[in-house]
Amino acid sequence: MKFIQVLFIIALLMIAPAASACRFWVAVGADLDREFIVDQLITAKNSLKNLGEIYPDGWSVGFYDRGDEVVIRGDEAASFNEEYDEAVRYIAVLEPEIVMGHLRRASSGCVEGVPNPHPFRITYNGRKWLFGHNGGMRKQILIDLIGEDFLARHPPAVCNQNPPESWIDSELYFLLIMKSVKEYDDDVEQGIRAAINKLYAKIEDENRYLNFFMSDGETVWIFRKGNTLFYRFDPQSRMTVVSSTVPDAEPNDWQEFPEDTLAVIRPQEFPRFSVLK
């Protein structure tokens, strides 16, 4: 049995890095039950904890508390790290309205001894923004689209010891989106649409691995392109959960998140989907 598990892990590691990099899970709702959070992130068959061996380059779990973001991070695989369990249980007791988790399998930037930098943080317009990515792309494309002037004024905050080699493509992706949001007078959806269209013009369809989640503490925006993504919505509690991998052994309540699609999610509201292509 162990031999089969090893072969399975090796097979996953042979997948193209952009296609296999990272996993994320996001839940939004006014009544996020603590047992549900623990089950999804620790106990379930395909919880982030149980996927940690395959995505070993650190973990993070986070939430918002009265508009302030709180993120707990680790640099080890979640599968073997008791601090991951402690962080999840701590957050679950608080029952916040927005909870997120991320596993890193690094495709660029610094790795060794670095706690998972996802979700990245930016303070903009009086709000605390978080951004997590599942995918990968050439950093030079992002650098060119962002521009030298903007990068000089807003350089990446993580892995900045030896730029641009040390920079992480995902943080550059975040900066591109935030620059675009600013250019569209803080219209987040239009800013995201413009940034995605710029990337589509530069990246061939088969190499577009652009899944992300982003939040300002009130709203969560989630986009899918290139990697797996699933969601479930409970109309009674109006809880929305989005995950790279279906955590449950019985995935009947889950639906595939449409490609090229942005979801806008708020507590106690039905998620709204729009195609960006």
Answer whether residue 8 is part of any domain. Answer: no
Torsion of CA 71, 59, 23, 151, to 10 degrees: 60
- Can you give the CATH number for the domain in which 147 is found? 3.60.20.10
The pair of three-digit structure tokens given for residue 259, joined into one six-digit string = 């490609």
Answer whether residue 256 is part of any domain. Answer: yes
Closest Cα partner for 50 from 38, 34, 62, 35? 38
Count of domains observed in the chain: 1
> Beta-carbon neighbour count of residue 80 at 10 Å?
11
Closest Cα partner for 85 from 49, 118, 119? 49
pLDDT digits (tens, 9 = 90+) for 189-217: 999 999 999 999 999 988 899 999 999 99
Residue whose pair of structure tokens reads 């303070």 in the numeric block: 123
pLDDT at residue 95 greater than cutoff 80 = yes
pLDDT digits (tens, 9 = 90+) for 153-192: 999 999 888 889 889 999 999 999 999 999 999 999 999 9
**104: phi then psi, degrees, rounded to nearest 5:** -105, 135
- Give the range of the structural domain holding residue 159, as residue numbers without chain letter: 22-275
pLDDT band at 114 (very low <50, low <70, confident <90, very high): confident
CA atoms lying within 13 Å on the CB side of residue 139: 15
Which amino acid is it at 70? Answer: V
pLDDT digits (tens, 9 = 90+) for 126-149: 999 999 999 999 999 999 999 999
Answer whether residue 154 is part of any domain. Answer: yes
Contact by Cβ (8 Å): 242, 25: yes
The conformational region for residue 172 under phi > 0 = left, psi -120 to 50 = alpha, else beta, is alpha
Query: Is the CA virtual torsion 243, 135, 103, 143 positive or negative?
Result: negative
Beta-strand ranges (E) seen in the chain are 23-28, 59-65, 68-74, 98-103, 120-124, 127-136, 209-215, 220-224, 230-234, 239-243, 255-256, 261-265, 272-275
Answer whether residue 13 is part of any domain. Answer: no
Count each helix (H run) and each strand (E run) in the chain, helices first.
Answer: 9, 13
Answer whether residue 70 is part of any domain. Answer: yes
pLDDT digits (tens, 9 = 90+) for 243-272: 999 998 777 889 999 999 999 999 989 999
Answer whether residue 1 is part of any domain. Answer: no
Mean pLDDT of 37-65: 96
Answer whether residue 5 is part of any domain. Answer: no
